[in-house]
Amino acid sequence: VNAEIIAVGSEMLTPQRVDTNSLYLTDQLNALGIEVIFKCVVGDDRALMAATIRTAIERSGLVILSGGLGPTEDDVTRDAVAEALGRPMRYDEAIFEGITAMFARLGRKVAENNKRQAMVIEGAEVLPNDRGTAPGLWIPIERGGVLLLPGPPRELTNLWEKQARARIEAITEPKVIRTRWLRVAGMGESDLDQLIAPVYTKYVNPATTILAKMGDVEVHLRARCETAEEAEALLAEVAPPIEALLGDRIYSRNGDPLETAVGHLLRDRGATAAVAESCTGGLLGARFTDAPGSSAWFRGGYLVYNADLKRALIGEFTEDPVSEPVALRLAAAAASKAGATYGVSVTGIAGPDGGTEENPVGTVWIGVAGPQGAEAKRFRFPGERSRVRTLAATYALDRLRQALIATQI
Amino acid sequence: VNAEIIAVGSEMLTPQRVDTNSLYLTDQLNALGIEVIFKCVVGDDRALMAATIRTAIERSGLVILSGGLGPTEDDVTRDAVAEALGRPMRYDEAIFEGITAMFARLGRKVAENNKRQAMVIEGAEVLPNDRGTAPGLWIPIERGGVLLLPGPPRELTNLWEKQARARIEAITEPKVIRTRWLRVAGMGESDLDQLIAPVYTKYVNPATTILAKMGDVEVHLRARCETAEEAEALLAEVAPPIEALLGDRIYSRNGDPLETAVGHLLRDRGATAAVAESCTGGLLGARFTDAPGSSAWFRGGYLVYNADLKRALIGEFTEDPVSEPVALRLAAAAASKAGATYGVSVTGIAGPDGGTEENPVGTVWIGVAGPQGAEAKRFRFPGERSRVRTLAATYALDRLRQALIATQI
């Protein structure tokens, strides 16, 4: 079965917006052995949408639409699909009651136009959405099905995971897919590729994908075979030499993000962390506390954006605020003042202004203080302000991770 | 005249690739008053491509294809366009000589398959490409034209600038586009829609779009007229009643994000801010410092994730940490200890654990302390951990904004 993806919404046809949902869906569909042969973006135009859907249904077994399920007049995806399939819609009181209850929990009153979201196409299964008001719809048709998902990525991915994937798997010919997922910190995409390409390029199956985003690289191995045994055997052959090359740069093998991996290393050692942040201004603390349960290992910290606040934390200093001694003292003070086992500090120049000859924009000192003493390292991150800040927070987490794995338990 | 954009290439249908050419082209077309009504990505499949092109030509005056002009067998864009238009192709010796000369300059020998790049569709104008081997093609048709551009962005943009734009301008009726962009905090998408729909639904032009993401809603008005004066007059008619309904919920009219709008309000008052964050763990500070130049108005703050750190900041307390008095004292202490004019505090239950009957997951107290005294407000945010945290940071910024605009300068 082949698939087509239709992203709906006039805002998706502006120069500012990219349809990232289709990338997620393509990845998920490929994992089920389904090929995406066509994807498109169509505005809030019912007739054009219905024509597009009709064409898609004629040539592909699976048609997925994202967006246009909201409560407003210009949300016409349901209507367009009903028109394309030539099926009537009915009002589903139970859905509207669910929406009403959700609004009530939030202390808000449901609006009359939310009734549009309770319209169901004949023959459709309703896919409950616990992250928004618009339910998804799954409409089995002769050679496959039509799937309607809400546009906001957090709702779309959640509905896909919990409701849609299993239904689509059920219409797919049985092929077994097994994956390995390595997450790697502290090296760039092309360095990593050069390192492991000699291994993975020898194999078409498993397929190897390298995905990079700001200081974080993922390696996916994907074996697709007739049986689970075959797939596992393939992975058991290819994954170990890759893991050996990457060594302790691998921070997770189960998809955990870096902050969770670091949190679990702290937890396993009965240790806690605190931060002192200058240029990241809270980003590092936000990363630490992104992980559920982080109160077990994160105590808090100090946003020392202004020099006065740095002095209040570490006392008077004559050095440049972006320097090794200040980074070391910030890390040590964060730990001792917050009563944490480890202190992590970040002080640097995120830009666009503030760069000097010695410390150009992108210069960041990261300090880690712990039971084994304190150390600091200088980084020079490329790119504009938000990239420098994100990279600084990621590398700070990785510096702490390095200190933790050096500590045997 | 409306336009459609077709990106060609099987690699563009993988989870790793985004069609950024269409964003550039959309921006360029909009500037000429041309609306993009549909865009799609199609693999290297000649029949599917020809069908897609035929559909596009039927409904839109301008069809732009990018990619698939290379020398290899799977570069079938030229063939597909010729098939869709029912026109023959001819071999153009002059083009091949140009390609041969370009290769010679690079010290390389031209390959036999480069002859494919010298095939020209009948009636097409050849658009010379000085950054690559594939020339573009411009094929005037009855109501507009079909434009073929090479896929590599530096070739595509160069050909557009030097060759294509002028040809498309020549077939365009003069149309001017003017926009208004309002950003709104503190209300949901459907509430906002209900509030302003009575105004905007009376007009097709300007077109109104409402975009929402986590606690932040944007209203775009887009007027398309024969002259700039007409477009401005239309906006001058429709925008004021919408702005009057939204009042001071509008925080920016120039696209500035909330943190920048708040920063500028502080700056204009010669004021500064500091934070005390519990459940947001740094997200609020990160938002404040996202804006370049934020050191002028943001001093820093305290991540009081752990109860000990809350006590270190405000002294002993017997109340629930998620309560009005604690929020008030955190805000006041953040301001006084950091030497800031305003203190903003966030204390709540982000989940997934930690909810109680009185304070279920999503409950957040936000405090603001300033020269006019301190106040705190209780919120109940929907959704999972990351949404609660993001909404808490956004609403905290908005609470400070409300306090600031209540202060005349």
User: Across residues A15-30, what is the average pLDDT?
Assistant: 92
Token pair of B391, please? 């909404």
On whether any CB of chain B is under 8 Å from the CB of A105, the answer is yes
The answer, yes or no, to whether residue A378 has pLDDT greater than 80, is yes
Q: Tell me what percent of the residues of chain B surpass a pLDDT of 70.
A: 100
- Binning pLDDT at 50, 70 and 90, where does residue B15 land? confident
User: pLDDT tier at B174 (50, 70, 90 boundaries)?
Assistant: low
pLDDT for the residue B186: 83
What pLDDT is attached to residue A52? 97
Of B241, B258, B273, residue with least CA distance to B339:
B273
Which helix (H) or strand (E) covers residue B258, if one does?
Answer: helix B258-268
B336 in A contact zone (CB under 8 Å): no
CA distance A166 to A176: 14
SS3 state of residue B256 = coil
CA-nearest residue of chain A to B285? A282
Give me the phi and psi of A231, to 5 degrees please: -65, -45
- A188 has a pLDDT exceeding 80: no
Out of B15, B36, B338, the one facing A309 most closely (by C-beta) is B338
Pull the structure tokens for residue A376. 């600091």
Q: Residues A121-139: what's their mean pLDDT? A: 92
Beta bridge partner(s), residue B183:
B218, B252
pLDDT of A209 strictly over 80? no
Residue type, A180: R
- Residues 261 through 320 of chain A touching chain B, CB cutoff 8 Å: 275, 277, 279-290, 292-295, 298-306, 308-309, 312
Helix axis angle, A258-268 relative to A385-405, nearest 10°?
Answer: 30
Q: What is the pLDDT of residue A237?
A: 96
Q: For residue B137, how far is the Cα from the chain centroid? A: 31
Report chain A's mean pLDDT, rounded to a whole number: 92
pLDDT, residue B31, reads 78
Q: How confident is the model over B274-326, as pLDDT tens digits?
A: 999 999 999 999 999 999 999 999 999 999 999 999 999 999 999 999 999 99
Give the pLDDT confidence score for residue A174 in this predicted structure: 62
- Indicate the SS3 state at residue B98: helix
Nearest CA-CA distance, residue A175 and chain B, Å: 20
pLDDT above 90 (res B86): yes
- What's the pLDDT tens digit per position in B211-249? 777 788 989 898 888 888 999 999 999 999 999 999 999
Report pLDDT for B178: 85
Q: What percent of chain A has pLDDT over 90?
A: 73
Asked if the model's pLDDT at residue B409 lies above 80, the reply is no
Task: Give me the helices (H) in B32-126, please.
Answer: 46-59, 77-85, 93-105
Query: Do A369 and A332 contact (CB within 8 A), yes or no?
Result: yes
Summarize the confidence of residues A41-63 as an average pLDDT. 96
Give strand pairing partners of B149. Answer: B66
Higher-scoring residue by pLDDT: A57, A1: A57
Strand partners for B222: B179, B207
- Among A23, A26, A301, beta carbon nearest to B303: A301
CA angle B350, B326, B306 (to 5 degrees): 55
Fill in the amino acid letter for B309. Answer: L
**Which of A34-38, A66-70, B12-16, B270-274 reaches the highest mean pLDDT?**
B270-274
A292-301, B83-92, B190-199: the lowest-pLDDT one: B190-199
Structure confidence at residue A255 (pLDDT): 84
Q: How far apart are CA B394 and CA B392, in angstroms?
A: 5
* Strands B62-66 and B2-8, bridge-based pairing: parallel
Contact A58/B at CB under 8 A:
no
**Cα distance from A32 to chain B (closest Cα, Å)?**
13
The three-state DSSP-derived secondary structure of chain A is: CEEEEEEECHHHHCCCCCCCHHHHHHHHHHHCCCEEEEEEEECCCHHHHHHHHHHHHHHCCEEEEECCCCCCCCCCHHHHHHHHHCCCEEECHHHHHHHHHHHHHCCCCCCHHHHHHHEEECCCEEECCCCCCCCEEEEEECCEEEEEECCCHHHHHHHHHHHHHHHHHCCCCCCEEEEEEEEEECCCHHHHHHHHHHHHCCCCCCEEEEEEECCEEEEEEEEEECCHHHHHHHHHHHHHHHHHHHHHHEEECCCCCHHHHHHHHHHHCCCCEEEEECCCCCHHHHHHCCCCCHHHCEEEEEECCCHHHHHHHHCCCCCCCCCHHHHHHHHHHHHHHHCCCEEEEEEECCCCCCCCCCCCCCEEEEEEEECCEEEEEEEECCCCHHHHHHHHHHHHHHHHHHHHHCCCC
Of these ranges, A223-237, A374-388, B275-289, the one predicted with the greatest mean pLDDT is B275-289
Tokens matching residue A130: 């616990």
pLDDT at position A310: 98
User: A81 pLDDT exceeds 90?
Assistant: yes
Q: Is the pLDDT of residue A34 over 80?
A: yes
* pTM (2 d.p.): 0.74
DSSP for residue B409 = -
Kindly list the distances between the CA atom of residue B227 and the CA atoms of A160, B204, B230, B235, B240, in Å, as whole numbers in the listed order: 46, 17, 5, 13, 21
The answer to whether B23 faces chain A, any CB pair under 8 Å, is yes
pLDDT of residue B7: 97
A146 φ, ψ to 5°? -115, 130
- Which residue in chain B is spatially nearest to A109 when comparing CA positions? B191
For residue B179, the model assigns a pLDDT of: 86
pLDDT digits (tens, 9 = 90+) for B53-85: 999 999 999 999 999 998 887 889 999 999 999
- Residue bearing tokens 């959309």: B26
Q: At what angle do helices B77-85 and B46-59 cross, to 10 degrees?
A: 50
**B289–A279: do the CB atoms touch at under 8 Å?**
yes
pLDDT reported for residue A189: 76
Distance of alpha carbon A32 from its chain centroid, rounded?
Answer: 20
The answer to whether A73 and B201 have CB atoms below 8 angstroms apart is: yes
- Residue B124 CB contacts under 8 Å (≥ 6 apart), including other chains: B137, B138, B139
Contacts of B350 in chain A (CB under 8 A): 289
